Amino acid sequence: MNLRYPVYSPYLNGREKALVVDCIDSTWISSKGKYVGQFEDSFGSWLGAQHAITVSNGTVALHVALAALGIGPGDEVLVPTLTYIASANAVKYTGADVVFVDSERAYWQIDIEDAERKITSRTKAIVVVHLYGQATDMDAVMALAKKHSLNVIEDCAEAIGTRYGDAHVGTIGDVSCFSFFGNKTITTGEGGMVVTNNAELARKVRHLRSQGVSSEREYWHDVIGFNYRMTNLCAAIGCAQMESIDDLIAKKQQIAEWYRQSLVGLPVRTHDTNPRTQHSYWMVSILVDDARERDALRAALQLDGIETRPLFYPVHQMEMYAAPGQNFPVADDISRRGINLPSYPALMRDDITFICERMRDFFARQETKMEPLLETKS
């Protein structure tokens, strides 16, 4: 079976090849070279952040950010359970304990009231995940953090271009982490960025990501650090991607609007947008009304060459994180009913119409199957 519509495909129609060739010609292909600094400056300036530090991927961005904050054994970190597993794994890398938090139903973000109930004397930080491109309520998060003296880490892996009020997400908490994996809004193939407005925190991140090498003595290492640097090759791709970033975000928002218009009348709910935010729609996501139809719908779309993904499984369901007595009803419900639809920038209006027509056909067949049962009951 041919895959007509993948769930995602990167946009690589700019100067990516030219800049990579220039990088190769320069022979600076590892973690030194002009494109690393250029990418950091370009991305930081675009966000409105004072410090942007490249790293090798989004997961290590989270790890080094937590390490720079001093999170370690004996500490607890609040993490929404409805997220990609890296948000929790990075906490465990530090030796700290993950404390999972349920979601709020309206926008699928971390439930602030549940988060406050989970705070103990060991709680040192809260990781907020701007899930699928919708912003978390950062006013509520920052108020909670101030009340309980918590550090705030924004996981922006899925939220390039998302805004909370007038501010880009990633510029509000103590530190934030972005991913440039191949399925993200802009990509470097593999790569990430740590962003902060705190100069001392930025210094610690740069120190730790580069094997803890001393700034005063050549080949001398004064802390146990990590090899988390981005290559100049990856940064060259990032520089080219930055030239199209605003157009890519606008196109993804247009695609989401086309889906919203085309799905009217179907038993599904699109991912709502908090009116105080600008949703960047990393993935256009829906919830089917009946969880029992989710997998059948995905299978039917697959037959038409339309790839989809289930929403993330809540991390507390994973064997290595499971514990008795954990109860996260909203996150569990959203996960059971959720689907990511094809969301890549090259999609056109006719493509969205076709995908939604196939969904409409599926639900029409489901209604036809139900009619004899309804007649028997009557």
Residue type, 260: R
For the domain 16-242, what is the CATH code?
Answer: 3.40.640.10
SS3 content of the chain, % helix, strand, coil (to 5): 40, 20, 40
Walk across the sheet containing 338-341 and list its strands. 268-270, 284-288, 338-341, 309-310
- Select from 305, 312, 313 the least CA-distant residue to 342: 305
Q: What's phi and psi for 112, nearest 5 deg? A: -65, -40
The pair of three-digit structure tokens given for residue 215, joined into one six-digit string? 């700034």
Q: Is 75 left (phi over 0), alpha (psi -120 to 50) or beta?
A: beta
How far is Cα 333 from Cα 241, in angstroms, rounded to an integer? 36
How far is Cα 240 from Cα 244, in angstroms, rounded to an integer? 8
- pTM of the shown model: 0.95
Helix (H, G, I), strand (E, B) or coil at 365: helix
Residue range 245-365 in CATH 3.90.1150.10: yes
For the CA atoms of 273, 288, 284, 300, the dihedral, rounded to the nearest 10 degrees, stands at -170
Q: Return the bridge partners of 155, or none.
A: 129, 177
Residue 183, pLDDT score: 97
Catalytically active residues are: 184
Which segments in the chain show pLDDT lower than 50?
none
Residue 369, pLDDT score: 75
Residue 325, pLDDT score: 84
The pair of three-digit structure tokens given for residue 80, joined into one six-digit string? 């929404």
Residue spans per domain, the chain? 16-242, 245-365
Residue type, 160: I
Residue 115, pLDDT score: 98
What digits encode the pLDDT tens for the residues 118-127? 999 999 999 9
